[in-house]
Structures are given as structure tokens and as C-alpha cells.
Chain A
Amino acid sequence: MAVLSVNNIHKTFEDTPVLKGVDLEINQGDVVAILGPSGSGKTTLLRIINFLEKADQGELTFDGTTYDLKTISKKDIARIRSKTGFVFQNFNLFKNKTALENVTEGLIVARKMDKQEAEKIGKEMLDKVGMSDRYDYFPSKLSGGQQQRVAIARALAQSPEIIYFDEPTSALDPELIGEVLNVMRDLAKEGMTMLVVTHEISFAHNVSNKVIFMEDGVIVEEGESHEFFANPKQDRTREFLRLIEARHDN
């Protein structure tokens, strides 16, 4: 069953078209990786899906209800967001809150959850991402990898139907990438539905079940993960994969 689908998304930034009619469907338990060169529109797509940018045109279907992205109400946006999680490239942990408070903030403030109950969930989620010994640390005292794991715990605390990841490892030092990818791999194993904009080809290859390749604001190719890598159909996809592999070989 489709958790989320979008139709015909268009977006232009100051005369520069960034998305030129993108369609997407994500089913329960899917782990979808979006690949593509810089400027292909993949991050914008993710931000539009979670209403951080407004689309010029397009529809979004969530939980079986379809919304026009140009006219969707604040109430509907809040309702959909309460069922999704978002992990940013730069973590965006609340700087004035501890790790635990970062995870519980949304539960207590937005969902009016009892503080004790929220802390129970918060600790559970931090334990899950291997941060049990850092509850009371402020983000400034955590490494990038640790911050990103707290950010994942914060997203998980929403008990989301889907989590969006916007290049979750791009801002990390190479030696810290593994710990974040491991957490994401575990989530995938548990059946969490995930939409991941990434440059990590190995993640797309080994963890995701579906891959989308975007360029110049359109989806060039999409397919089942192993098939996509073993047998890319478009010239542009082959060229992109060849370039990436060449970079890895160096």
C-alpha cells in the first residue's frame, strides 16, 4: 500500500526551474534512495514533500487523501508532519536543548504529551541509536555522527509512517559516516519506510530496495535497487554510475 505519492511537482526558484514534473510513489516498508548530481532537485523535492518549500504545482497523497500542494491548509500540513520524520543534512538539533530534550520537545510541546511519558519514549529512542550515555549532553558537546543519531532519534519519537533523510551523511567526517548508516540500516531492517536523498552508493545498493536517479529536475530512471545497479537503462544513469565508481576507485 502506498504511504505517500506525489504527482507532477513543479518548482521554480527565480526563473530557474528546479523540478519539472516529478512523480513518486512510496509503499509501506520501502527504502527509497534518491541519487543524482548536485542541482538535480533532489533536496528540493524532499523539502517540498515535507512542506519546507512550497511547490508551484503538484499533488501529494498521504494516507489515501490527496492534497493540492498549492492550496493545502496549515492544519493539513501539521497533521501530515505529525506522521513524518525529517533528518537534515546539518542535523539541526535545537542548540539550547539537551539530546533528550531534543527528542522530547516535539512530544511535549506539539503533542501535549505528559513529560514523564515523553522522557520514557525519548530515552528509548536514544538507546535505540546508541546514545544512552549522552542524554544530558548539549549538541555542542556531541560529534557530528552523534548529533545525527540524536536527530534520527528525534524523528523516530514522532512514531512516523515515513522518515525523510536529506543527505544525512554529507556533513560528516568520513570516519563518522558508518555509525549513522548503521542506524539507518537497522531501521530499514525493522521495516521503517524511508525516503533518502544520498550520495552513498553503497547504501543505495545494499540497503534500499528502490533507487531513483534524478537530473535537471526530472526523474531519469527508477527501479528495483539491484536491477538499477546491475542493469541501468539510460545512458545518463550509466554515465553517472561510472563517474561515481571511478571516484570510489581512486
Chain B
Amino acid sequence: MDARVWGILLDSFWKILIKGIQVTIPLTVLSFFFAMIIALVTAMIQYANVPILKQIVRFYIWIIRGTPLLVQLLVVYFGLPNIGVRLEAFPAAVIVFSINEGAYCSETMRAALEAVPVGQVEAGYCVGMNYLQIMWRIVIPQALRTAFPPLSNSLIGMVKDTSLASNITVAEMLMQTQRIIARVYEPMALYLEVALIYLVFSTILTWLQRYGEKKLNAYEGSK
């Protein structure tokens, strides 16, 4: 590669990275935070077998998992204005990513809750705890331990999925890259560069996951 391309790469690196820090990371963190709340609540509704609410949750998961994320983004950002709901691009992206990821993580959480042996709940009742106390102090902590690796997976997946937000004008890393490409016309080098930055983000998260698992393993024995 010649000096010109190196110059472009160096110059664009910070421009892309700054969008990562300003947009991609906040978009991921916010969306994942809300997704976790949605997942926990909907998983608990399914676990506890709450009538009617459970049907609503199943319907929600069915719709969200059955349609493409990109289409969901387009419907919310470009479609909703037709019925008078106008959203800024960033909040629209947060809403869609939260709802989308919430549906997938809900299934992860439900499976993890169901994997906690029923004896743990019975033991809780026998020492006088009520249902919510047992859920909060015994079942959910154990379920989170089980769900941690697949949830980390979802988080890493989400970092990369945020690139889809460029389709609804969110100025995140990929859009920034495309803008630079339009100017300097070096698609190969620049797409690889942004790919590398995503890789760095994912790698850091993988390290964090390993660290987290080690912490959580304390009560699981030295597996």
C-alpha cells in the first residue's frame, strides 16, 4: 500500500473511532440495558405462567423473531411518520434494538430460569421466603450465571448490528466510513479498517465476558 492510503487510514481512524465512542457504544449500552429489562420481565412472565400476559409475550417474541431487524428499523423510522409518529434517528434505533434484542434475550433468560432446580424454590419456601424474595435472591442470580455466556454473545452481536442503524441516518461508525469512502474512494482499505475497529470492540467484550465468568464461577466450584 502506498503512502496515500496509509495517510487516509490514519486520518480516518480517529474520525471513525470517535463515532464509535459517541454513537455505537452509547447505542449498544442503552439498547442492551433496556433489552435486559424487557428480557427479564418477559422471561419472568413466562416462567411464572401468568395467564394472558404470557400470550402477549409469546406474540411479541413471535413477531420480533420472525421479521428482519433491518425491516423493523425501517418501519419505525420511515414507516411510523405515516401514522403521525415522528422519531429522531437515534431514539428510534434505541427503541428498535431494545425491543429486538429483548425478544431474543427473553428466551435465553426463560431457559436459564427453568434450568434452576425446583428444589431451590421449595427450599426457599421452607425457610419462610415468599415467591418474589425467592426469585430475586435465589433463582434470578443462579439463572444469570447460566445465562451470562449466551447474553454476552447477544451483546457482542448487538455491537455489530448497530451498523444497521446507518440505514436510518444514525451517524455511527459505518456511516462515517461510507462518507469518507465517498470522498476518497478507497473502499477496500476503509471497510477493512472499520471492520477492524468492530473487531477490537468485540475482543474487549470477549475479555470482559471471560473476567465476568471467572467472577461468577466462585460458587460453581473450580470448573
Interface residues of A, Cβ cutoff 8 Å to B: 50-52, 78, 81-82, 84-86, 88, 90, 92-97, 105-106, 109-111, 138-141, 154-155, 158
Flag the segment in B13-21, B87-95, B134-142 that touches A. Answer: B134-142
Are B128 and A140 within 8 A (Cβ)?
no
Q: Could you say which residues of chain B place their CB within 8 Å of the CB of A111?
A: 128
Q: Could you say which residues of chain A place their CB within 8 Å of the CB of B137?
A: 105, 109
Alpha-carbon distance between A52 and B126 when the two chains are bound, in angstroms: 9
Distance from B167 Cβ to chain A, minimum over Cβ atoms (Å):
42
Are B218 and A110 within 8 A (Cβ)?
no
Q: Could you say which residues of chain B place their CB within 8 Å of the CB of A158?
A: 127-128
Alpha-carbon distance between A78 and B138 when the two chains are bound, in angstroms: 18
Q: Could you say which residues of chain B place their CB within 8 Å of the CB of A96?
A: 138, 141-142, 145, 219
Q: Could you say which residues of chain B place their CB within 8 Å of the CB of A95?
A: 120, 142, 219-220
Extra 20 A-B pairs, beta carbons < 8 Å, given A94-B120, A106-B127, A138-B218: A78-B128, A82-B128, A85-B126, A86-B126, A92-B119, A94-B123, A95-B142, A96-B145, A96-B219, A105-B129, A106-B128, A106-B129, A109-B137, A110-B127, A110-B129, A138-B219, A138-B220, A138-B221, A139-B219, A154-B127
Q: Could you say which residues of chain A place their CB within 8 Å of the CB of B141?
A: 96
Are A109 and B129 within 8 A (Cβ)?
yes
Distance from B189 Cβ to chain A, minimum over Cβ atoms (Å):
49
Of the candidates A94, A110, A141, the one whose C-beta lies within 8 Å of that of B128 is A110
Of the candidates A82, A88, A106, A110, the one whose C-beta lies within 8 Å of that of B122 is A88
Are A110 and B133 within 8 A (Cβ)?
yes
Interface residues of B, Cβ cutoff 8 Å to A: 117, 119-120, 122-130, 133, 137-138, 141-142, 145, 218-221
Distance from B142 Cβ to chain A, minimum over Cβ atoms (Å):
5
Alpha-carbon distance between A52 and B137 when the two chains are bound, in angstroms: 20
B127's nearest neighbour on chain A, judged by CB, is: A106
Q: Could you say which residues of chain A place their CB within 8 Å of the CB of B220?
A: 95, 138, 140
Alpha-carbon distance between A138 and B128 when the two chains are bound, in angstroms: 21
Alpha-carbon distance between A106 and B133 when the two chains are bound, in angstroms: 10
Q: Could you say which residues of chain B place their CB within 8 Å of the CB of A93?
A: 123
Are B125 and A81 within 8 A (Cβ)?
yes
Distance from B171 Cβ to chain A, minimum over Cβ atoms (Å):
43
Distance from A195 Cβ to chain B, minimum over Cβ atoms (Å):
14
Of the candidates B122, B128, B145, the one whose C-beta lies within 8 Å of that of A92 is B122
Contact (A92, B219) CB under 8 Å given A78-B128, A158-B128: no
Alpha-carbon distance between A158 and B125 when the two chains are bound, in angstroms: 12
Are B123 and A92 within 8 A (Cβ)?
yes
Q: For B128, B129, B133, B218, which residue has the most chain A Cβ atoms within 10 angstroms?
A: B128
Are B120 and A88 within 8 A (Cβ)?
no
Of the candidates A81, A106, A140, A154, the one whose C-beta lies within 8 Å of that of B219 is A140
A90's nearest neighbour on chain B, judged by CB, is: B119
Alpha-carbon distance between A154 and B128 when the two chains are bound, in angstroms: 11
30 contacts between A and B (CB under 8 A): A50-B126, A51-B125, A52-B122, A52-B125, A52-B126, A78-B130, A81-B125, A82-B128, A84-B126, A85-B126, A86-B126, A88-B122, A88-B123, A90-B119, A92-B122, A92-B123, A93-B123, A94-B120, A94-B124, A94-B138, A96-B141, A96-B219, A105-B129, A106-B129, A110-B129, A110-B130, A138-B220, A140-B219, A154-B127, A158-B128
Alpha-carbon distance between A111 and B188 when the two chains are bound, in angstroms: 66
Distance from A95 Cβ to chain B, minimum over Cβ atoms (Å):
6
Are B142 and A81 within 8 A (Cβ)?
no
Are A81 and B128 within 8 A (Cβ)?
yes
Alpha-carbon distance between A96 and B219 when the two chains are bound, in angstroms: 6
Are B127 and A92 within 8 A (Cβ)?
no
Alpha-carbon distance between A230 and B145 when the two chains are bound, in angstroms: 53
Alpha-carbon distance between A52 and B130 when the two chains are bound, in angstroms: 13
Alpha-carbon distance between A71 and B133 when the two chains are bound, in angstroms: 24
Distance from A23 Cβ to chain B, minimum over Cβ atoms (Å):
24
Q: Could you say which residues of chain A place their CB within 8 Å of the CB of B130?
A: 78, 110
